[in-house]
């Protein structure tokens, strides 16, 4: 009987600890500078400032270009992209979750892992060459590190394959990744597909997060080798 009592005490302790951590995260999030700034300036997420910083540094978003935003919901990156490319440019956004309409943005709701979604995206593009692909995709986290890392890298690989297929020669690709298993192989593959690959850790990325952004500059005329080999 004593062992069961001890077991339930441990469960209760971990539940209380988890609840405290959640409350602490919510409090920190609410008081976050970029969260407050996003509300003030009308952006849908704090992530908008990540793209703003990277684009300013690397001159990614320019009037008249065509951009594809993968994992777009709630729309912070699409907002930034649409504002920068203007009415002479195009922004095509995709996410498995619904996203509210944005001026100058064509949205496709669907699972990026499914061929039917890619067909729909290509149809919307109408053969229009793409200048920039941006991907802030993340899987639904399970809390199991190995599994979450594998799913994250898989989405990054899909985004890279799409970019190599759809980008203009000289086009650019920005993708969120998490450092861990599969990262070095992915980085190597990007380097075979772009003239230059650089890492970016924007100020709006939370310090405790191991997320970084890889930026491929200048797509090269090279057939993408299978990442599974």
Note the pLDDT tens digit of each residue in 142-180: 778 888 899 999 999 999 999 999 999 999 999 999 988
pLDDT in tens, 61-103: 999 999 999 999 999 999 999 999 999 999 999 999 999 999 9
Per-residue pLDDT at 138: 86
Residue-wise pLDDT tens digits, 180-205: 899 999 999 999 999 999 999 999 88
pTM of the model: 0.82
Comparing 214 with 222, the larger pLDDT belongs to 214
The domains of the chain are located at 46-219
- Mean pLDDT, the chain, rounded, equals 85
Clarify whether 124 is annotated catalytic: no
Residue 108, H or E segment: strand 105-109
Which residue do the tokens 């939370």 mark? 206
H or E element at residue 194: strand 194-200
Q: Which of 50, 84, 90, 176 is catalytic?
A: 176
Among 12-21, 88-97, 167-176, 208-217, whose mean pLDDT is lowest?
Answer: 12-21
% of the chain surpassing 90 pLDDT: 69
pLDDT of the residue at 139: 81
User: In terms of CATH architecture, what is 46-219?
Assistant: 3-Layer(aba) Sandwich (3.40)
Are the beta carbons of 215 and 172 closer than 8 angstroms? yes
CB atoms within 10 A of CB 172: 25
Alpha-carbon separation of residue 185 from 130, 153, 194, 221 (angstroms): 25, 10, 15, 20
């Amino acid at each position: 009987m004593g062992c069961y009592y001890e077991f339930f005490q441990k469960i209760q302790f971990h539940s209380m600890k988890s609840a405290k951590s959640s409350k602490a995260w919510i409090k920190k999030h609410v008081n976050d500078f970029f969260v407050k700034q996003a509300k003030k300036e009308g952006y849908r997420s704090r992530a908008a400032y990540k793209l703003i910083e990277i684009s300013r540094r690397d001159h990614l978003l320019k009037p008249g270009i065509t951009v594809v935003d993968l994992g777009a919901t709630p729309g912070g990156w699409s907002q930034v992209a649409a504002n920068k490319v203007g009415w002479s440019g195009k922004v095509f956004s995709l996410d498995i979750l619904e996203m509210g309409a944005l001026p100058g943005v064509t949205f496709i709701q669907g699972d990026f892992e499914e061929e039917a979604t890619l067909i729909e995206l290509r149809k919307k593009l109408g053969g229009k060459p793409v200048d920039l692909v941006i991907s802030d995709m993340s899987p639904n986290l399970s809390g199991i590190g190995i599994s979450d890392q594998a799913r994250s890298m898989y989405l990054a690989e899909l985004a890279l394959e799409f970019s190599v297929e759809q980008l203009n020669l000289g086009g650019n690709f920005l993708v969120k990744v998490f450092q861990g298993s599969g990262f070095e192989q992915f980085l190597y593959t990007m380097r075979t597909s772009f003239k230059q690959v650089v890492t970016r850790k924007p100020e709006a990325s939370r310090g405790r997060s191991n997320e970084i952004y890889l930026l491929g500059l200048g797509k090269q005329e090279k057939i993408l080798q299978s990442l599974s080999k």
